[in-house]
Structure 1
Amino acid sequence: MAENSQIAKDVIEAAGGEGNIASVAHCATRLRIMLHDKEKADISAIEEIDKVKGAFYNSGQLQVIFGTGTVNRIYEEVTKLNVEGTTKSDMKEDTKNQGNFLQRWIRTFGDVFVPIIPVLVATGLFMGLRGLVTQPQVLQLFGLAPEDISENFLLYTQILTDTAFIFLPALVAWSTFKVFGGSPLLGIVIGLMLVSPALPNAWDIGSGEVEPIMFFGFIPVVGYQASVLPAFFTGILGAKLEKALRKKIPESLDLILTPFLVLLIMITGALFIIGPIFHVVENGIFAATRVVLDLPLGISGLIIGGLHQVIVITGVHHIFNLLEIQLLERLGENPFNPLISAGIAAQGAAALAVGLKSKEKKMKALALPSSLSAFLGITEPAIFGVNLRYVKPFVMGLIGGAAGGFFASLMGLAGTGMAITVIPGMLLYLDGLFPFANYIIANGIAIGVAFGLTWAFGYEDGMLDKDK
């Protein structure tokens, strides 16, 4: 196996040489290279390099898939060459105007929500663990009953599970200000204002316990606990307003006037205009999501489990973060998670079948680690490095995902959190024996169908020569 330094040199050479590289960055799985002339890059040659699991040109970048961990080490070696390294955020500035309007906006959604996801993942795990330790069957093992659980312990678990969603607007506004070049601290304060205790609580309004405050007789003013879009658009406009003010206000007054005007203007706009409008939009998105998820006879699982990984190819799958957050906030569970988990597991199984069936050492070295990555929730190495390259394994994976999603939908399966799937995703189903067992079965069906179809019909080593 080639050393990482040699792999870095080979990648740069196949990308057109050092002179063709404008900048290099990386994300969790991919080395992202900005090129002066994409015609000079030889993607086929890059795919033949050791440890490379796939390469393609998208969103103005040459994206080379190495997988988690490996990409960090390759990036370190690349930056030792005569190549300009850059941050992912700086590269986003170079690519933000590339792609159509929808692609740019969905990419922006991803930039805002990805930094928040780890907190929501942890919250989902806390929900699952609380469900586990409060189950009567588990308590019986320790000679306890549900009524024996301390009120203080329940309060403690409530702090762990509720805080992130109560103050979600503050997290969203902070991240949006940061992405759009404003002061993140101003974003946090505006987000906290949106959930101020002085405002009627959104959950109390939803339960009918309190009424919104009506201004001017027709504008409802409420708190926006667990809301996303009002904080998101307030953050966009707030960051742009801040940058505009800093250009106009003299430096001697900037420290006082800029934050004063940003907070005053944006919270007024958020409470009276942005909030009421986008709260309605948010309700519409949620209603449409529920329509799809509530389709009878497992149809929702067939659709989502079968097609989710097609959306991943386009790179716009981050839009689903908004949907999952809404489901968790309003339902207290996430029925979307088991459906996409089946699709992810199926792609891993298809890559596993290729790796086990192939007699080519390079294909085994590529497919087997890629399948493990998919079983841990990251499918890009399996999709771009193996399955999509030969098409049939990818299609068999889609069929497997549809089968697993179909079962999950029939069982009414739902997780307690988001953003982790397949093996790590088991932690989101600890709140009951049946949800946990059904999650295992759903992923098992997806894996079995995808593996069996790929082994029987989806791959032969002769495809290697045809691909070359």
Structure 2
Amino acid sequence: MEKSENRLIAEQIVEAIGGEENIESIAHCATRLRLMVSDREKVNQERVESIDKVKGAFYNSGQYQVILGTGTVNRIYEEMTSLGLEGKTKSEQAKGAAKSGNAFQRAIRSFGDVFVPIIPALVATGLFMGLRGLVMQEKLLALFGLTPGDISDHFILFTQVLTDTAFIFLPALVAWSTFRVFGGSPIIGLILGLMLVSPALPNAWDVAAGKAEAIRFLGFIPVVGYQGSVLPAFIAGILGAKLERVIRKRVPEALDLILTPFLTLLVMIVFALLVIGPILHSLEEVIMNATVSILQWPFGISGLLIGFFQQIIVITGVHHIFNLLEIQLLERFGNNPFNAIITCAIAAQGGAALAVGLKTKSKNLKALALPSSLSAFLGITEPAIFGVNLRYMKPFVMGLIGGGAGGFLASLFGLKATGMAITAIPGTLLYLNGQLPLYLLVNLVSIAVAFALTWMFGFSDAVLDKKRSAKE
């Protein structure tokens, strides 16, 4: 029986990486195959990159990552597991790579592992906000002979359930995910997070609005609920997970079910409300004020800088820090200025890859660059960056310039998304509240600048000839 194309590709990847004995485990994300290898010296980098459908390969976070693209990676992964290789979830494999890299890299990786699983809930919330903004527009309502005053209060209440729930219980989501990542029982983390937003506590938003007063424990420690807060739940989750493990080692097995959750929750809620919460809530305010201040820099400077450097930050792997800032902006203001700027950076890399794909006469490079540019326009830049732009460097730089140009305009126009985590073409759903034309404009500018600069100065097939000569 003839082997399928994906089966052959899977076998070629395994062979190029040094055979099955050199692969400890495999996992995958949206675009990349992630492999833990025993001996890096056995990996034939050039051979891996020459395999059909492979858009690039590199080491990151202690893993050898092969870029295959959305959809394709799932099929290749299935073929590799059918060969007998051990498949693991992304989070399980991340634990195996957790000891690699320096302390800062490990901290950022853990930060990302905590917040990435929460993002789908926030994506849905952002889309609900966008749809509500669309439905509530006066021009749209006028088409049906209605005004905003004609909207039912029950409908407004229903939309509030859709848009407010995730942020009201955000500490519960954060504590749950943090316990999961740091080796605790997720259900205990969930309960701890829910305790932080208990209705028995003064509501944080009401306290901030002057409608309620914080409870003063011992006369000077303010105790409130932590609706919408991230840092208190994050740190409480880390300490709580470690405390649970310490307690579990010391209590008799017969009493573990009773004592471990009881003592963990008792100690942590007291510590969270009286120590962690008041301190980190103040720190959160400092971070938020600094973020807002930077985003308000005049003349589009913030957009220019963020738009230029964002994809460089992505390469370093520390871009998950933006998650915290975006979540806080959405919780506080109901909008997210970062999204439009980041989208411009992403779209620009797609524009640069598109220029390479259209200009080159190499069939292999064209087959790689054109699909990679489409992937970037859908919000996933890894194939374009690692498969094309970084490989020839100048297209990547031209993409950075395009991202800076688009980010500059996004900042000048004051574009603000209703959500996070979806960008480029799918991101249009976050700008249905009257901002869509400007959102499309800044993205087109980013693509056009990156495309034009790459076409004129960033790439020619002479680069391919030089690379071939260097190999020979």
Matched residue count: 466
**How far off its partner does 1:2 sit?**
7.8
Alignment equivalent of 1:85, drawn from 84, 87, 91: 87
Is 35-44 or 338-347 further displaced after alignment?
35-44
Is 178-187 or 123-132 further displaced after alignment?
178-187
For residues 467 and 127 of structure 1, the distance between their equivalents in structure 2, rounded to whole angstroms, comes to: 49
TM-score (norm 2): 0.97
Alignment equivalent of 1:280, drawn from 275, 279, 282: 282
Matched with 1:372 is 374
AA of the residue aligned to 1:464: L
Matched with 2:78 is 76
For residues 102 and 281 of structure 1, the distance between their equivalents in structure 2, rounded to whole angstroms, comes to: 20
**How far off its partner does 1:389 sit?**
0.4
For residues 311 and 388 of structure 1, the distance between their equivalents in structure 2, rounded to whole angstroms, comes to: 14
Matched with 2:117 is 115
Q: Are positions 1:313 and 2:315 aligned together?
A: yes
Q: Are positions 1:436 and 2:439 aligned together?
A: no
Q: Are positions 1:189 and 2:191 aligned together?
A: yes
Structure 2's unaligned 5+ residue stretches are: none
Q: How does 1:156-305 map to 2 (within 5 A)?
A: 156-305=158-307
AA of the residue aligned to 2:79: E
Matched with 1:341 is 343
For residues 332 and 450 of structure 2, the distance between their equivalents in structure 1, rounded to whole angstroms, comes to: 33
**How far off its partner does 1:8 sit?**
1.0
Contact 1:353 1:454 in 2 (8 A): yes
Contact 1:390 1:467 in 2 (8 A): no
Which SS does the other structure have where 1:441 is aligned? helix
For residues 27 and 173 of structure 1, the distance between their equivalents in structure 2, rounded to whole angstroms, comes to: 23
Q: Are positions 1:455 and 2:469 aligned together?
A: no
Q: Are positions 1:446 and 2:446 aligned together?
A: yes
For residues 179 and 287 of structure 2, the distance between their equivalents in structure 1, rounded to whole angstroms, comes to: 24
For residues 210 and 46 of structure 2, the distance between their equivalents in structure 1, rounded to whole angstroms, comes to: 61
**How far off its partner does 1:467 sit?**
3.0
1:220-258: per-residue Cα shift (whole Å, max 9, x none)?
111110111111111111111111111111121111111
**How far off its partner does 1:142 sit?**
0.4
**How far off its partner does 1:124 sit?**
0.4
**How far off its partner does 1:121 sit?**
0.4
For residues 229 and 391 of structure 2, the distance between their equivalents in structure 1, rounded to whole angstroms, comes to: 40
AA of the residue aligned to 1:374: A
Matched with 1:100 is 102
Matched with 1:155 is 157
Q: Are positions 1:358 and 2:360 aligned together?
A: yes
Identity %: 69
Which SS does the other structure have where 1:85 is aligned? coil
1:288-307: per-residue Cα shift (whole Å, max 9, x none)?
21122111000011001111
TM-score (norm 1): 0.98
Contact 1:352 1:371 in 2 (8 A): yes
1:237-293: per-residue Cα shift (whole Å, max 9, x none)?
111111111111112111111111111111111101111111122112112211221
For residues 335 and 310 of structure 2, the distance between their equivalents in structure 1, rounded to whole angstroms, comes to: 19
Matched with 2:62 is 60
For residues 193 and 20 of structure 2, the distance between their equivalents in structure 1, rounded to whole angstroms, comes to: 44
Structure 1's unaligned 5+ residue stretches are: none
Matched with 1:14 is 16
For residues 92 and 195 of structure 2, the distance between their equivalents in structure 1, rounded to whole angstroms, comes to: 30
CA RMSD of aligned residues (A): 1.2
Matched with 1:408 is 410
For residues 126 and 60 of structure 1, the distance between their equivalents in structure 2, rounded to whole angstroms, comes to: 37
For residues 82 and 134 of structure 1, the distance between their equivalents in structure 2, rounded to whole angstroms, comes to: 54
Give the ranges of 4+ consecutive aligned residues of structure 1 lying more than 3 Å apart after TM superposition: none
For residues 281 and 47 of structure 1, the distance between their equivalents in structure 2, rounded to whole angstroms, comes to: 45
**How far off its partner does 1:438 sit?**
0.8
Matched with 1:33 is 35
For residues 254 and 87 of structure 2, the distance between their equivalents in structure 1, rounded to whole angstroms, comes to: 36
1:342-383: per-residue Cα shift (whole Å, max 9, x none)?
000000111111111111111111111111111111101100
For residues 223 and 41 of structure 1, the distance between their equivalents in structure 2, rounded to whole angstroms, comes to: 52
